[in-house]
A and B are shown apart, each in its own frame.
Chain A
Amino acid sequence: MAEYKQLLFEQMIKDFAENEVKPLAQEIDEEERFPIETVEKMGKLGIMGIIVPKQYGGAGGDYNMYIRAVEEISKACGTTGVILSAHMSLCVAPILEFGTEAQKAKYLPDLASGKKIGAFGLTEPNAGTDAGNQQTVAVEKDDHYLLNGNKIFITNAGYADTYVVIAVTGKAAKGPEMSAFIVEKGMEGFSFGKKEKKMGIRGSATCELIFENVKVPKENMLGQRGDGFKIAMKTLDGGRIGIAAQALGIAEGALDETIAYVKSRKQFSKSLSAFQNTQFVIADLATKVAAARALVYIATDAKQKKLPTLSVNAAQAKLFASETAMEVTTKAVQLHGGYGYTREYPIERMMRDAKITEIYEGTSEVQRMVISGALLRK
């Protein structure tokens, strides 16, 4: 009977994206405004807690539904797609996977209902692709850890209440010992730095996190001491599927817009769609989008079934879907001609939004390292 669940969910999320997300896409981009009202709506419909089990207030849905949600929402608006993806993949998922019973009971209900938003802090000024080079430190003292340092480029920062933060807790055999913590907005000494002015996904909040002697209770350590890097990498494996779905959605949205445009726009007394160049470009783009979709769903299946291939599947999905999104949106602007370059049409926004998918949660180069590493290490 699972066919109904999937069928009804698809119907709902398409309706929601079309009627609630799409109408705001241009406005939140122009105004660089976080769409808090959309997050509230997603919370009320159970979208913010799709993968959270019922005992923690979630909908008890599956990973496949969550990925379809990111895809459909990103089709209408890349900003809204990444808000959901960062919340779910980078905060809800690690708490669900590595949290103690008490941590799950404390944090998941509010995250699942959308009352609170989640975020993840790994990246630092000198720890981007070189994520192991962490400078943020957490020193054990009495009943807490004293957290000091700063994180940059943090999606949902400021609006989020619950942060999964990676910090150095000591020395291990090879390099620093890292641990993960759940840090709450409002903890003394935790503040936000400047908000980045970005090329795309301009409605999403991207800020610096500043920790000055933040007392994080010991019970807020996520997983075991020293598990931080492992938790970060596993979290990013999941996160990459979310970003791959975002990229796929952006590409699909751009393709839909372009097909409608080339059918209506006339030059030399015929529709653009009647020119063979248009037909061949559309055929190639649609084929790449289909291939990206297949890779995203393979990775989603691997996550759902906890397959050992997850890491490579997720890296391949993200690499291909993000580069496809960039190619599709760039060629979509070209097919739109001068109009495509104006902000009258959504296609230039889609092109700007697509670019980030090749960069965050591991650049395309990092994905190639992950894929080749898994193949050549054997």
Chain B
Amino acid sequence: MKIIVCIKQVPNTTEIKIDPVTNTLKRDGVPSIINPDDKSAIDVAIQLKEKHGAEVTVICMGPPQAENALREALAMGADNAYLLTDRAFAGSDTLATSTIVAAAIKKLGADVVLCGRQAIDGDTAQVGPQIAEHLGIPQITYAAAIDYNEERNSLIVKRQFEDRYQTLEVSGQCLVTVLSTLCKPRYMNVWDIVDQDSKEVGKITFADMDLDAKNIGLAGSPTKVQSTATKQFDKTIETLELDPEAAAKAIIDALSKRHLI
């Protein structure tokens, strides 16, 4: 089984601040991490490798410094890593990104493609499903558990909905998007940390893939951002001195007036 895991390097949003003037993320000095959903996808791919045997390849589109995220994946136990990097990719929205990633998957070849559900910086959850559409393969989104049936050569995927689960079995090539809650991703281990130094992270550029320049980068991105705004929070404090019963009623009234309950 050849598994390709698609990951994204994102700023650690727990440490991020918004520039109040430009309304953009202040990325300077904010550490980059592997997107949490994607990290669980890496872990589940390695679990499948350990249990059933598989070759795990991790790919990431991004600037040269995204190699760090790929090296982390190798240090967790992935077999190969490729960085999709080219100036021509800059400015890609989700459609252009998925076009590029799908072309890379076609080039590398995979039985199973795993993606995180969505990235914590963009939150669109679009890239995974779009890759499946480009490749023309079935997709299963919101996976809370993935197993493999060796006899039938099929994946058993438990999808999570708000109020229930749905279990699907799929044979043949497919793409699954994974929730971060699927597992607690493993730590890197010292053996693989040492080993990754002797491994190459392959570079895949525009010229290496079957791509049309008009479908990628800014030119291939129909998404146009008109404006962004930061939500302001007004903090007002009202002090009431009441006995417990009246206080409870006052709290309920205040909350229902704001349609919070």
Using a CB–CB distance below 8 Å, which chain A residues touch chain B? 1-2, 4-5, 7-9, 11-12, 15-16, 44-47, 49-50, 54, 59-61, 65
* Contact residues in B for A54 (Cβ distance below 8 Å): 191
Complex interface: stretch among B67-75, B82-90, B139-147, B237-245:
B67-75
* Contact residues in B for A7 (Cβ distance below 8 Å): 68
* Contact residues in B for A2 (Cβ distance below 8 Å): 197
* Contact residues in A for B196 (Cβ distance below 8 Å): 4-5, 8
* Contact residues in B for A15 (Cβ distance below 8 Å): 187
A-B contact count (CB 8 A): 54
The interface residues of chain A, by DSSP majority, are classed as: helix
Q: Does B223 contact A (CB under 8 A)?
A: no
CB distance from A12 to the nearest CB of B (A): 4
* Contact residues in B for A11 (Cβ distance below 8 Å): 72, 188
* B33 and chain A: residue at smallest CB distance: A11
Query: Contacts A4-B71, A16-B187, A45-B187: A9 and B197 contacting too (C-beta < 8 A)?
Result: no
Q: Does B229 contact A (CB under 8 A)?
A: no
* Contact residues in A for B75 (Cβ distance below 8 Å): 8, 12
CB distance from B201 to the nearest CB of A (A): 9
Tell me the complex Cα distance, A47–B188, Å: 11
Q: Is the CB of A59 within 8 A of B194?
A: yes
Interface positions of B from 82 to 138, Cβ below 8 Å from A: none
Q: Does B207 contact A (CB under 8 A)?
A: no
Which of A4, A16, A46 is the one whose CB lies under 8 Å from B191?
Answer: A46
* B199 and chain A: residue at smallest CB distance: A1
Q: Does B261 contact A (CB under 8 A)?
A: no
Q: Does B189 contact A (CB under 8 A)?
A: yes
Most chain-A CB neighbours within 10 Å: which of B68, B187, B193, B197?
B193
12 additional A-B pairs beyond A45-B187, A45-B188, beta carbons within 8 Å, are A1-B197, A4-B197, A8-B75, A9-B188, A11-B72, A11-B188, A12-B187, A45-B190, A59-B191, A59-B193, A60-B191, A65-B190
CB distance from A56 to the nearest CB of B (A): 13
CB distance from B36 to the nearest CB of A (A): 13
Top 9 A-B pairs ranked by shortest CB distance?
A46-B190, A59-B190, A12-B188, A45-B189, A59-B191, A5-B197, A46-B191, A8-B75, A46-B189
CB distance from A45 to the nearest CB of B (A): 5
* Contact residues in B for A46 (Cβ distance below 8 Å): 189-191, 193
* Contact residues in B for A1 (Cβ distance below 8 Å): 197
Q: Is the CB of A5 within 8 A of B194?
A: yes
Query: Contacts A4-B68, A4-B71, A7-B68: A12 and B193 contacting too (C-beta < 8 A)?
Result: yes
Tell me the complex Cα distance, A44–B75, Å: 14
Tell me the complex Cα distance, A284–B193, Å: 36
Which of A44, A49, A61 is the one whose CB lies under 8 Å from B193?
Answer: A61
* Contact residues in B for A12 (Cβ distance below 8 Å): 75, 187-190, 193
* Contact residues in A for B187 (Cβ distance below 8 Å): 12, 15-16, 45
Query: Contacts A1-B197, A2-B197, A61-B194: A8 and B71 contacting too (C-beta < 8 A)?
Result: yes
CB distance from B131 to the nearest CB of A (A): 27
CB distance from A40 to the nearest CB of B (A): 13
Interface positions of B from 165 to 188, Cβ below 8 Å from A: 187-188
Q: Number of B interface residues at 8 Å Cβ cutoff, please give it.
A: 13
Tell me the complex Cα distance, A282–B141, Å: 51
* Contact residues in A for B189 (Cβ distance below 8 Å): 12, 44-46, 59
Q: Is the CB of B188 within 8 A of A8?
A: yes
Tell me the complex Cα distance, A45–B194, Å: 12
Tell me the complex Cα distance, A59–B188, Å: 12
Tell me the complex Cα distance, A48–B193, Å: 14
Tell me the complex Cα distance, A60–B190, Å: 8
* A2 and chain B: residue at smallest CB distance: B197
24 contacts across the A-B interface (CB closer than 8 A): A4-B68, A4-B71, A4-B196, A4-B197, A5-B193, A5-B194, A8-B72, A9-B188, A11-B72, A11-B188, A15-B187, A16-B187, A45-B187, A45-B190, A46-B190, A46-B193, A47-B190, A49-B190, A50-B190, A59-B189, A59-B193, A59-B194, A60-B191, A61-B193
Tell me the complex Cα distance, A12–B196, Å: 14
* Contact residues in B for A65 (Cβ distance below 8 Å): 190
Tell me the complex Cα distance, A44–B194, Å: 15
Most chain-A CB neighbours within 10 Å: which of B189, B194, B197?
B194
* Contact residues in B for A49 (Cβ distance below 8 Å): 190
Interface string of B213-227 (1 = CB under 8 A from A): 000000000000000
* Contact residues in A for B71 (Cβ distance below 8 Å): 4, 8
CB distance from A229 to the nearest CB of B (A): 33
* Contact residues in A for B193 (Cβ distance below 8 Å): 5, 8-9, 12, 46, 59, 61
* Contact residues in B for A16 (Cβ distance below 8 Å): 187
* A15 and chain B: residue at smallest CB distance: B187
Query: Contacts A4-B68, A7-B68: A60 and B197 contacting too (C-beta < 8 A)?
Result: no
Tell me the complex Cα distance, A11–B76, Å: 12
Tell me the complex Cα distance, A120–B67, Å: 42
Q: Is the CB of B190 within 8 A of A61?
A: yes
Most chain-A CB neighbours within 10 Å: which of B68, B190, B193, B194?
B190
* Contact residues in B for A61 (Cβ distance below 8 Å): 190, 193-194
CB distance from A126 to the nearest CB of B (A): 40
CB distance from A80 to the nearest CB of B (A): 15
Tell me the complex Cα distance, A50–B193, Å: 11
Tell me the complex Cα distance, A1–B191, Å: 16
Most chain-A CB neighbours within 10 Å: which of B72, B187, B197?
B187
* Contact residues in B for A45 (Cβ distance below 8 Å): 187-190
* Contact residues in A for B197 (Cβ distance below 8 Å): 1-2, 4-5
* Contact residues in A for B68 (Cβ distance below 8 Å): 4, 7
* Contact residues in B for A8 (Cβ distance below 8 Å): 71-72, 75, 188, 193, 196
